[in-house]
Structure 1
């Protein structure tokens, strides 16, 4: 504890832990309250020691979770403790879990929202003769050779002692942290965890429990990325990006074509329309039907949303076999889709096995007839002829209808149900797919389709339409300044709760009206005192 004259000067390059009393996990609340301390207001980087029950905004830069060691190894308690603490402290502060990190668990700690760790546990394990790797730990006595090339492991095995083990564990943790940071920069930490965490039961249980608490991850997960999703396990189906896509397709998107529906298998090449198989489907269909692809892990992908993240940003482990989990998920999504969208006929151009099983399940649930057109394989001459024959007599839809329906479908997905009709009524489209430009009747550009992500980037005119429409606007309210390039969090007065990283946002203040892309969620913008809240694409001074 500090006394008046003992208060340190602090250091701008280090965190100073403020006065506290540390209590073991399970200490009764009345005892903790009796010995609670007031955190002093200091002018240097500082950290407050808290428990999940006492976590709050104490005006510090970081928060030390004192019960961390008691939580590690218990998935339910760990997730509850970290989530409770993380949501109670400001978004732009760091969460420190002392005495917990190992090379095996540090990726999961970061995924859960932990920002700072130390080497204490790694050092302790080394003194006990426990050799740590990203796969777990091994007793030195059980190692025939050293499976590492760090400096400490250059020592011959027969002379490698516990002091060397401590040095190795430090190196191993440092290397694991480097991997985690690179994965975060690349937007691919989840892909790594789905494989790496399986070496320890509590780590696998931890990220699954985080998935169960969907809202915690969803608020923090960007709505778009350039990074590819590797779909190698059934756990991929539970990812925020996958669940969010399936939800929006079945609650926001609406089919605007009056033609029959043709269900087809997905393709390895993305977007699907660039693949050889989908080129053959197109030649048979000739714009006489609405094309929807069935796929794991995405579910269903209407042709208008084939570019929209993550529909063109995933790579599956293709074996030709569907797991029961995949069949249930895709069937549920297809059922929800068909309940929302009516078609005069449904043609299933899918092969035997998982695809056909899914279609038959849904047809039985909805009591609808599906016409199956595949013999042996979807791209054989007979199968393609059957598909073309099933559409005989159907009218073709034109380029204008196709392009208008595409940008309106993207608007539905991106901005909310019916947004396509509200924001993009009376429009003209120009340029070539996928670089479509949207203009109003006065030839003023409203938006353009961004091929990399399959979303609309609004102009100022498009933003004004959004503000004037009944579609809920994602607003960022700023102080009386004119932002250039970006809006920093300290300048944000208020922001819509529904804003997610990557969302289009309208930025309004006494001196400016602008449109841009969010870099934080709405709650983070309001809570944070540092960092970029939003980029600015177009701006008009008031």
Structure 2
């Protein structure tokens, strides 16, 4: 067997093996993670992965609604994931806050998921009830969370909003994306007041400033509460 034929057979086996790995990644619901892994082997591959952002809407349209496993998020490149795009679209096009909600309370994401079952959430709500009981009666609680943006409390168990892991610290581009989603949500809502619990340790002032601009544009009051005041568990 000549050298050219041996090389051709080798390349064929390599291609078949790669196709099988891609098939298995699809079966496991890990195709995006597999693409991320392969993209780290060469700058050109990583550039190609970033190019997928231009086709995010198409990928979302043809991606399954649920998967067998949770999702992994590493940085802003993953904002093009179909699940992130789908959440943004559905929140804008299909979601409406509770009719009687006059006050929006925005809480930072917690390490534990779903967010509303975490110790941090229970502690903050307990203090809020003592300080603003009359406002909580007509309040709607949402979380600001990377990479999805705004997560209404009644949806935080819906896939994949509590079935994912994200690398910390959150990169600046992802913070800005979340801040933009929060601002857009406030601008399009009918809330009469916003109570924002900030988390400077993980978010700096990026989301806080976005809330301030959105509330100023809508001419509604904003009350910013420091997350540090609640203390650590």
Normalising TM by the smaller chain, what interval?
0.7 to 0.9
Alignment of 1:25-424 (within 5 A): 172-256=14-98, 257-286=100-129, 288=137, 289-319=139-169, 322-353=170-201, 354=203, 356-367=205-216, 368-374=220-226, 376=228, 378-380=230-232
SS at match of 2:40: helix
CA-to-partner distance for each residue in 1:364-423, whole Å, 9 max, x for gaps?
Answer: 244154222225364448xxxxxxxxxxxxxxxxxxxxxxxxxxxxxxxxxxxxxxxxxx
SS at match of 1:325: helix
**Retained in 2: the 8 A contact 1:211–1:240?**
no
How far is the alpha carbon of 1:190 from its aligned partner?
0.6
CA-to-partner distance for each residue in 1:208-260, whole Å, 9 max, x for gaps?
Answer: 33331234322211122232110012111111210120122133211114242
**Retained in 1: the 8 A contact 2:184–2:214?**
no
**Retained in 2: the 8 A contact 1:292–1:300?**
yes
Partner Cα distance (2:112, 2:224) in 1: 24
Partner Cα distance (1:171, 1:213) in 2: 31
Q: Report the TM-score, using the length of structure 2 for normalisation.
A: 0.80
How far is the alpha carbon of 1:310 from its aligned partner?
2.0
Aligned residue in 2 for 1:34? none
Q: 1:336 to 1:300 in 2, by over 3 A?
A: same
Higher helix share: 2
Partner Cα distance (1:174, 1:305) in 2: 42
Query: Unaligned stretches of 5+ in structure 2?
Result: 130-135
Q: 1:352 to 1:216 in 2, by over 3 A?
A: closer
Aligned residue in 1 for 2:132? none
Q: 1:280 to 1:172 in 2, by over 3 A?
A: farther
Partner Cα distance (1:335, 1:285) in 2: 23
**Retained in 2: the 8 A contact 1:231–1:314?**
yes
How far is the alpha carbon of 1:171 from its aligned partner?
5.2
**Retained in 1: the 8 A contact 2:150–2:182?**
yes
Higher relative contact order (CA 8 A, sep 6+): 2
**Retained in 2: the 8 A contact 1:346–1:370?**
yes
**Retained in 2: the 8 A contact 1:266–1:295?**
yes
SS at match of 1:255: coil
SS at match of 1:349: strand
Partner Cα distance (2:68, 2:77) in 1: 21
**Retained in 2: the 8 A contact 1:263–1:347?**
yes
Partner Cα distance (1:335, 1:315) in 2: 24
Partner Cα distance (2:230, 2:149) in 1: 19
Q: 1:357 to 1:209 in 2, by over 3 A?
A: closer
Partner Cα distance (2:59, 2:222) in 1: 38
How many residue pairs get aligned? The number is 219
SS at match of 1:348: strand
CA-atom RMSD, angstroms? 2.7
Partner Cα distance (1:331, 1:251) in 2: 19
Q: 1:238 to 1:377 in 2, by over 3 A?
A: farther
Q: Report the TM-score, using the length of structure 1 for normalisation.
A: 0.37
Alignment of 1:498-517 (within 5 A): none
SS at match of 1:226: coil
